[in-house]
Chain A
Amino acid sequence: MDSRRSPARLALIAPPALYLFVFLAIPMGLMGLLSFRPALRGGIANFDWTPTLEHYRATFAEGGYTRLLWLSVGVALVVALITTALAYPVAYFLAFRAGRRAPLLLTLLIIPFWTSYLLRLIAWKIILGTNGAINSFFLWTGVIEEPVGLLLYSRTAVVVTLVYVWLPFVALPIYASLLRIDRSVLEAASDLGARPWQRLLRVTLPLSAPGVFAAYLMVFIPTVGEYVSPLLVGGSKGSLYGNIIEIFFGDGINWPRGSAMAMIMLAGVMALVLLIARLVNVRRIVEEP
């Protein structure tokens, strides 16, 4: 009997599949449908309208929006890169050096998750603010005489806070993939004369690549649509593409435009992820024994 069709398997898959269908697939479908609706008039459940591409046209016609989409993709690539690079040594230490202290350190790493995302972002306002921790420290040491006002309310502040928010999250998949590495392979590398750095670059790193890749995408994909952090610490010029979508859905009561912009972002991100997957050749990495 084909195990893929066994009743037990179906029963296990059914709840998440149904959940995803109701709360992901249907809303996505509705959003796609909405993006062709001329305007949100005559009630929400109104299907008496002729489909139009106007909202897609208007999005591309406004140079600012497409510029912001590219910028958001850029910010997401950078944030994902910094986060993954910073998280790798942490995960490496946990997996190979921490020994018996690993569970404790792992708990410490995920402690920030016990606080809400919003609170952690607001905490950065206190750290980066004019009278904040950083300015106070440098004023006290005498390095600066006036508080530096540029720490907060800039796109740099957005990148800094996002890296902080994602860091512990990203260390986990890398840690998991490092744990899976067979230690005898590393010993073999040493026995064959590999120096520690050669061992890291040619054995450990390639073997942990699936985790690194997963971690990178876990940061990159949600960051493209991020809007809370720019709103809180981005200042007047720190908006990202997600902020524009949020305005159309929220204050704008212009769901069709917001839907079209969200669909464009979705298509763009999917294309980019497929491109990255192709360049990195995930299948080869993942399936390699």
Chain B
Amino acid sequence: MKLVRLLVPMTLVIVVASCGEAAETTTTTAAATPQTGTPLPEESSTTAAPVNTQLSVLEWAYYEVPDMWVEFGAAHPETEVIFNFGASDADIFSKILAGSGEDVMHWYSPYMPFYVEEGLIQPIDTSRLTNWDKVPEGFQQGCTLDGVVYCVPWDWGFTSVLYNTDQIPEVTSWTALFDEAYTGHISMWDDGASGAVPIGAYILGTNEADVTDAQLEEIKQMWIDQRDVNLFYWVDEPSLEEGFTSGDIWAAYAWNGAYYRLLLAGLPMAYADPVEGRNTWVGQYGISAATENYDLALEFLDGKLGEQTGTNLLVQYAYGHVVPEYFSAVTDENLITALSLDDPTILDRTNFTVPITRDQYERYVEVWTQVKAAP
């Protein structure tokens, strides 16, 4: 019996340890952070912000570096920002749903309504965001549901047909992804709700929120037939880029990051401006409904819209930032091309990812499984 008594706590320790391991956590404080343990000068204890505060963020890898939150780091050197990571939008949403408890989380359109529906986030008091007015209305609208602002938009980028001009002279439509002339040299992203269904909807002249049942059926058949020309579905950008460099892939559904990197690698790449319009996706930050750090979270998000952070995002990671006045900081020709920063009307001609309901989302995912399961 003694052994059993020993074993129970031991097993519990193992359980707890393995649970702890599952959550990959990075703690970062801004470069300007004073040494911990150094007594702060008398005056600073009179400021409103409490010493040794913490803010937790559920983030995508690479956004935890202090360059991606410069303003907040400078204003709050005493705050320890804890980053936990998600691997996909579904992963981040599931973690929050399961109660991982971060103050701030980062998702991509169209996830915002799902968080609202589950009561996981709270409204943003935009009157307290000093940089809010710099954000174009289109991006603000993307964060608004029934007149309430639920998030702060931050990064954005395009989705379009990326192609190698050695093999394909010009692509003018999304239908290039279905072209039999390129059989075995096309690659589609492995995603239904954010990839296949929206593109199918654009081709049918509608968008993913307004697709009818009949149209959805048509879209499904389009992608089932598309498998005859599609070499493989890519799950991560490196595998897609490898497809282009090896010469296997001539045209693909792609984000502008891949376009930029392949341009840098010296490949003859072009990024289509399809008649149906490119897609524009937007990354958004929300504040947890259960947070005890609302004020701090709000400041963190305001800092995300700051000039230093915005410029770093553009120049270092080649993603768009929602404040257009920072674009002038970009001098790299490849980057200007990749983000179409030299085309002031490009955003007006694209299809922003529109909010869809959770029911629609689930149906679109199912369409994708049916495409994959079709004979």
Contacts and interface: CB of A to CB of B under 8 A. Distances in A.
B3 A11 contact: yes
Interface stretch (A37-45, A77-85, A163-171): A37-45
Interface string A127-154: 0011100000000000000000100010
A230 to B, nearest CB: 9
Contacts of B25: none
A41 B370 CA distance: 23
Contact of B90 (A129, A237, A253): A253
Range of interface residues on chain B?
A: 35 or more
A15 B7 contact: yes
B227 A250 contact: no
A60 to B, nearest CB: 13
Range of interface residues on chain A?
A: 35 or more
A50 B88 CA distance: 30
B362 interface: yes
Interface string A176-209: 0000000000000000000000000000000000
B235 A231 contact: yes
Contacts of B117: 41
A7 interface: yes
A18 interface: yes
Given A131-B246, A251-B191, A254-B365, A44 B7 contact: no
A44 B231 contact: no
A99 interface: no
A22 B15 contact: yes
Interface stretch (A107-115, A240-248, A269-277): A240-248
A236 B4 contact: no
B4 A10 contact: yes
A39 to B, nearest CB: 8
Interface string B73-116: 00000000000000010110110011100000000000000100
Contact of A153 (B190, B232, B369): B232
Contacts of A153: 231-232
Contact of A62 (B114, B361, B362, B370): B370
A239 interface: yes
Interface string B222-237: 0000110011110100
Contacts, number: 106
B44 to A, nearest CB: 41
A11 B97 contact: no
Nearest to A231: B235
Contacts of A120: none
B372 A243 contact: yes
B11 A250 contact: no
A46 B360 CA distance: 22
Most chain A CB neighbours (cut-off 10 Å) among B99, B361, B365: B365
A233 to B, nearest CB: 8
Interface string A27-53: 000000000000111111100000000
Given A247-B368, A251-B88, A19 B98 contact: no
13 contacts: A22-B15, A65-B373, A130-B247, A130-B248, A149-B231, A149-B248, A235-B232, A247-B365, A247-B368, A247-B372, A250-B88, A251-B191, A253-B94
Interface of B: 1, 3-4, 7-8, 10-11, 14-15, 88, 90-91, 93-94, 97-99, 114, 117-118, 184, 190-193, 226-227, 230-233, 235, 246-248, 358, 361-362, 365-366, 368-370, 372-375
Given A62-B370, A239-B373, 18 more contacts: A7-B1, A14-B7, A18-B7, A18-B8, A19-B11, A19-B14, A39-B362, A41-B118, A41-B358, A64-B375, A129-B248, A149-B184, A153-B231, A231-B190, A236-B231, A236-B232, A244-B369, A252-B362
